[in-house]
Structure 1
Amino acid sequence: MRRTFVKAIIGASIAMAFHATASAQTQEVRIGVIYPLTGPSASVGGELKNALEMAADIINNGAKVRDLPFAAGGGLPGLKGAKIKLVFADHQGNPQVGATEAERLITQEKVVAIVGSYNSAVTLTASQMAERYKIPFLNPESSSASLTQRGFKYFFRTTPHDDLFVHNAFDFLKELQEKKGVKIGPIATFNENGLWGTETTKLQAKLAPEKGYTLAKQILYPAKTTQLTSEVQTLKAANPSLVMQSSYTPDAILSMKTYKELGFSPDMILANNAGFTDTEFIKTLGKDAEYVITREVWALDLANRNPLIKEVNELFNSRYKINFTGNSSRTFTGLMVMADAINRAKSTEPEAIRKALTETNITADHLIMPWKGVKFDENGQNVLGRGILVQIVDGKYNTVWPFNMASREVTWPMPKWDQRKSQ
């Protein structure tokens, strides 16, 4: 009897410990997030971290924001109020570090899903690791078109990709000529030589002649470079009317300083987001950032069409004293989409989360993005996203295209550098 009693006590203790562990697990949903928290892109990485933390806080504790999913707080109702726990990893802008950190998050931190990673080259390697371990990977910002052309089952991307964005740029130029009477001369491309920049270059090289434009020069410069003098001199010698540029924050700022220093002043710089929409771009350059046009996915002036944009941005600004950007707004949205899938899955099993992601159908009225919604195709690409173009005027990003959504007219051409001194 004594032996039986001891066995019963031990068995009960083990069961209690098991149930306590299971209960603890259901109270916390561990999501890995991989971003550049140090290195050249640390400034934008910090903003993305803020966006993620605010999204998690809204889910866990609530916020007075109408129409936003989970704004009531209290965790995920589908998991009996389980709270989101973000587990951060720093990829430093290095693809190999991104892959290593993804594996660490999966094998050591036991995350049930991953969100990341801003830099397309890092998203490529980190998501390969997630696919190997069959862990859902949601990418809110990376735009290299090939990321959703790999046949992966566990990879999902909410942002539109560069194929759409580059087409948007040429659609804008066509409408600018037809509706505004602007003449577009020779085009040059000036892109970083990573995955994102090289893929964008190929798309631009293909579309420019198809759309009837002369491609005067294509320049790929070293990513993370500390000087662009020779490249800008080559660009200036080609004398393009328009420069299409893809740069991360440090080189976006460096290029503008070099343009001014060498007196290179095309009619327009049409940028491909990233560094040109980082808060540091205008903060560092001041008036020298003026008139650049960049593709975007979000703009504060669209709040007159969607009040949710204003409400969520005010919450972000009250916490961090900065406004959302196209980068941080997408990251915020990405975590919300992942939380929606986990909530509907009513499970932290990766396969259940993957299945729920394939069934995602979020409508426009529940997003802070100017999209038609979020719905993934068989490749994991959101088919309801779209892009806009904004122009920096008076230190703000103003929507200028599509023209029916514009908050102001396009200023074209950009004033020459020596014409800005009195401004």
Structure 2
Amino acid sequence: MKRLFRGLGLGALGCLLLASAGLMGAARAEDEIRIGAIYPLTGAAAGTGVELKAAAELAAAIVNKEIPLPGNLAAGAGMPNLKGAKIKLIFGDHQGNPQVGATEAERLITQEHVVALIGCYFSNVTATASQVAERYGVPFLNASSSSTPLTERGFKWFFRTSPHDDLFVANFYDFLKAVEQKKGVQLRKLALFNENTLWGGETTKIEVKLAEEQGFTVAEKILYPAKSTQMTSEVQRLKAADPQVLMQSSYLGDAILSMKTYKELGFAPPMVLANDAGFSDSEYLKTLGKDGNFVLSREVWALDLADRNPLIKQVNDLMKGRNGVNLNGNSARVFTGVAVLADAINRAGSTQPEAIRKALQETNIPADQIIMPWKGIKFDEKGQNSLGTGIIVQVQNEQYRTVWPFDIATADIVYPFPKWEGR
């Protein structure tokens, strides 16, 4: 056997292992459906990863009927087409490292024999892990990475429920123009402050492109090193640029550090418009308290929309009861991703990868069966959910309030961003 393995190339060996995994998956089909979930469970983003893990486990518990199904949530509850099989989540820790993410994806496929993967929050890790899944022919559902190129690679096995950054950045400019009209102000001078991995880099390109097309001026553009330990020089440059709007893409540690540095240096542009991620993480406000107020952020979910969708409160109450925290935009997307994947596996009536892939392609979930403020979930030919939409929230009194689109807003925008000394 050792000689046989030596003689096989990596691709052939992978196929052999995958065939073995498929056989084991089929053997378990009636009692256990193994799904790999790859998130940052240690390292700088561990706090985020813990919440994502909790949201995934909540969705699995609902599917497994350990918790009554909330309302008409689309979640494949009970897996009736697989004789009541139970979802078993097998977690991988990518530590914020793309190569580790790829290694974890391979481990989950070849050693844990998962029938599908979900992950990875960081766009650059999702890129490498999904390449492994593509090579092995295993469905990969991405619930929370927004870098646009992820669905531009021509992959057959990749599906994304969340909207992408092309949409989110376009929302930025639509929002700015709407605020200009409503408030009678000018918001044309921008500064861009984004982390320098795949997500931040691609977001910067889109922001610059749309600024040029829509009559905005980029006065300063900074791509800072991800996981920075100090931002003094960068913030001094931003302050010197004197922007009317600061657009920022940061994960948790960077978001917290930047806000502390803004206060320290007295930097308070009229508007801080964040790109979700670290600014919507529960630890953001736990750490900063009132100093986290007044930041605006693009979002995909908000608790204050529960009056419009009863499912939001029902599911959030379950999350709060089990884990002591509310859902946020990050964890709500992961909850939704696991529910969508379980629904597809149930409709497939099989744990075979091709059957699951076909069921994902045929997904058509209406808006009233999800907790997201989207028009529904339906994948296009690239694997991108074509019905996702974005909102803008603002932190007011240490709570996230929906402020745009105006027709669904629960609060008026606080403008301008208050000076630190006047709070």
TM-score past 0.5 threshold:
yes
Structure 1 residue 311 and structure 2 residue 314: aligned?
yes
Picking from 342, 347, 356, the partner of 1:344 is 347
Report % sequence identity: 64
State the Cα distance separating 1:20 from its structure 2 match. 12
CA apart distance, 1:237: 1.2
Contact 2:25–2:113 under 8 Å retained in 1: no
* Corresponding position of 1:258: 261
Shift of 1:388: 0.2
CA apart distance, 1:28: 0.2
Aligned to 1:152: 155
**Cα distance between partner residues in 2 of 1:201 and 1:255:** 18
Correspondence 1:16-415 to 2 at 5 A? 24-61=28-65, 62-63=67-68, 65-70=70-75, 73=77, 75-415=78-418
Could you say what secondary structure the match of 1:32 adopts? strand
Q: 3-state DSSP class of the match of 2:109? A: helix
Q: 2:193, 2:185 → 1: CA distance?
A: 22
Of stretches 179-188 and 144-153 in structure 1, the one that deviates more from structure 2 is 179-188
Highest Rg: 1 or 2?
A: 1
SS at match of 1:43: helix
* Structure 1 residues 292-343: Cα deviation after superposition (integer angstroms, max 9, x where no partner): 0000000011011001101110111111111000000000000001001100
Give the C-alpha shift of residue 25 in structure 1.
4.0
Q: Work out the CA distance in 1 between the residues paired with 2:113 and 2:178.
A: 50
Change (3 A) 1:263 1:354: same
TM-score where L is the length of structure 2 = 0.93
User: What SS does the aligned partner of 2:334 have?
Assistant: helix
Distance change in 2, residues 1:144/1:21 (3 Å)? closer
For residues 211 and 87 of structure 2, what CA distance do their matches in structure 1 show?
45
Under a length normalisation based on structure 1, what TM-score does the superposition of the two structures give?
A: 0.93
Distance of aligned partners of 1:372 and 1:211 in 2 relative to their CA distance in 1, 3 Å threshold: same
Aligned pairs, number = 400
AA of the residue aligned to 1:209: E
CA distance in 1, matches of 2:344, 2:74: 12
- Deviation of 1:69 (Å): 2.9
- CA distance in structure 1 between the partners assigned to 2:416 and 2:323 by the alignment: 35
Q: Give the secondary structure class of the aligned counterpart of 2:185.
A: coil
Q: Tell me the secondary structure at the aligned position of residue 39 of structure 1.
A: coil
Shift of 1:23: 5.8
Offset at residue 209 of structure 1 (A): 2.1
Q: Deviations over 1:193-212 (max 9, x none)?
A: 00000000001111112211
Root-mean-square deviation (Å)? 1.4
Distance 2:41 2:407 in 1: 38
- In structure 1, runs of 5+ residues without a counterpart are 1-18
Q: Which structure 2 residue ranges, 5 or more long, are not aligned?
A: 1-22
The residue type paired with residue 397 of structure 2 is D
Amino acid at match of 1:68: L
The 1:263/1:114 distance shift into structure 2, 3 A limit, reads same
Asked if structure 1 preserves the Cα contact closer than 8 Å seen for 2:29 and 2:82, the reply is no
Give how far 1:263 is off: 1.0
> 1:131 & 1:22 partners in 2: Cα distance?
20
The superposition leaves residues 223-281 of structure 1 with CA deviations (integer Å, 9 ceiling, x where unpaired) of 01111111111111111111000000000000000011111110011000000000011
The code of the aligned residue for 2:70 comes to V
SS of the equivalent of 1:123 reads helix
Q: Which has the higher contact order (CA 8 A, sep 6+)?
A: 2
